[in-house]
Amino acid sequence: MTLPKFPKALRIEVKFTTGMTVPVPKREREFLIGKDRDVVGIIAAIFWCNKRAIDGQWFIVDAAESFRTGRSAGGSLGINDLLRLEKCQPWLDGLRDHIHNVWPQFLRAFHGEALAGHEVLSTELDALLRAGKLQDRLERDPVLDLEHRKAIQAIHHTHGSSVAGHIFQDLLAYLLALAGYGRVQINPIGVPDIELSELRTDTAAQFVTLSLAQEQVDRIVRLCQKAGALDLARALSPDSKSK
């Protein structure tokens, strides 16, 4: 088993859109591209464009390689551009896996606060992070795709695109804090939207991704059931009948 690798620090510009492309102005990209190799500038995009395979999922790309026209260029990125870039940037796979695995549960855990508004949400997230209890809100039960899409839709319907974008920004920042980043800074004005640093390498892998054959998973689930570890059995196999 190998633990996921995360950049030591992150600068992130968050994009939420109901269209098919996200703008990346020149000044934003220039700011994300720094000289410190320990800091990675990221463009994080989330769409609500009536495409089931795309809606509500995060796309994470390195800003330094987001355009082929030069380091100082800006422009826009479409869904196909983001998919291509993700495949060409394996150094961010650990970060992407963490987001992909935890995002649905994280959104469900804080959906009520998200509907209540940015201030309520950010206050709760910050308080839980300071108390070291952010992860306690997550449930083990799987989130259905339909449930996740409805949650995204409700936030957008309640707040509109602009405020919804800020709410998704809050959620992403603290979702990444679960990867082990001790310092979270959200900038309401200016660039970047999010800054994460002080990565705790001893706790960075709270969530571990394993690649196992289905036969191996089934065997582990049976062993967990036999040992009475039913919560672990359910987490490994949501469709199992362990009760």
Task: Give the pLDDT confidence of 74-112 residue by residue, as tens digits.
Answer: 688 999 999 999 999 999 999 999 999 999 999 999 999
Percent pLDDT > 70 in the chain is 85
Whether residue 205 lies inside any domain: the answer is: no
What would the two tokens of residue 243 be?
């009760």
Whether residue 50 lies inside any domain: the answer is: yes
- In this structure, are residues 232 and 49 in contact, taking their beta carbons and an 8 Å threshold? no
pLDDT at 211: 55
192: preceding bond cis by omega (within 30 degrees): yes
Which range marks the domain in which residue 221 is found? 212-243
> pLDDT-based confidence at 229, cuts 50/70/90?
confident
- Whether 182 and 222 share a structural domain: no
- Whether 124 and 92 share a structural domain: yes
- Whether 116 and 36 share a structural domain: yes
- Whether 141 and 232 share a structural domain: no
- Whether 45 and 69 share a structural domain: yes
Whether residue 89 lies inside any domain: the answer is: yes
> pLDDT-based confidence at 4, cuts 50/70/90?
low
Whether residue 4 lies inside any domain: the answer is: no
- Whether 220 and 180 share a structural domain: no
Query: Exposed (0-12), middle (13-18) or buried (19+): which is 156, by Cβ within 10 Å?
Result: buried
Is pLDDT larger for residue 162 or for residue 235?
162
- Whether 48 and 156 share a structural domain: yes
- Whether 64 and 105 share a structural domain: yes
- Whether 92 and 186 share a structural domain: yes
- Whether 236 and 168 share a structural domain: no
Residue 34 in this model has a pLDDT that exceeds 90 = no
- In this structure, are residues 95 and 179 in contact, taking their beta carbons and an 8 Å threshold? yes
Cα separations (Å) of 171 from 178, 201, 227? Answer: 11, 22, 36
Q: Considering its fold, how many domains does the chain have in total? A: 2
Whether residue 171 lies inside any domain: the answer is: yes
- Whether 183 and 243 share a structural domain: no
The C-alpha R_g of the chain, in whole angstroms, comes to: 18
Q: Compute how many other C-beta atoms are within 10 angstroms of the C-beta atom of residue 189.
A: 5
- Whether 117 and 217 share a structural domain: no
Whether residue 2 lies inside any domain: the answer is: no
Whether residue 3 lies inside any domain: the answer is: no
User: Which residues lie closer than 8 Å to 111 by C-beta, 6 or more apart?
Assistant: 151, 154, 155
Residue 1 in this model has a pLDDT that exceeds 70 = no
Q: pLDDT tens for residues 185-219?
A: 999 888 899 999 999 875 444 545 455 677 777 88
CA distance 114 to 44: 19
CA distance 22 to 60: 13
Whether residue 187 lies inside any domain: the answer is: yes
